[in-house]
Structure 1
Amino acid sequence: MQAKEQTLIDSLVQLHVRMEQLEAEAAEAHGAAARLKALRDEHAVALELLGEKEEKLEEQARLLQERGVAH
């Protein structure tokens, strides 16, 4: 009976260790997901700013071209 109890205790210890490992991995994955979301948000903002800058440059180029043609 003691051997069976010891086997069950050993299994319980192994399962507890594995559970702690999985909890740590889950926390790490959650942190990585949060960092990924932040990077995606920053990327979206950068693309929007780049688009606005491109529009301004195109407008300035158009105005310069019109002035060149007008003079």
Structure 2
Amino acid sequence: MKLHLFPAILMRKYSSQASKDNDFLHFGTAKERYDQFVKRYPDLALSVPLQCIASYLRITPQSFSRIRKEAVR
């Protein structure tokens, strides 16, 4: 998968969720955005490179790693 195409693929694949995505991407904490992403797109959470997900959610890689580590506990 070409990393620069990830946002376009996500929006095309889940276009019915597009307007709701705007809300969850712009509000809430980084953890809340991650939780919503995993809830809405569990298959993408497992198949897309982590740095792409972090970028999409506007979370630094370091914070993203910490959030994922805490979610496993």
TM-score between both structures, scaled by the size of structure 1: 0.20
Q: State which structure, 1 or 2, has the greater radius of gyration over its C-alpha atoms.
A: 1
Determine which structure has the larger helix proportion and give its number: 1
TM-score between both structures, scaled by the size of structure 2: 0.19
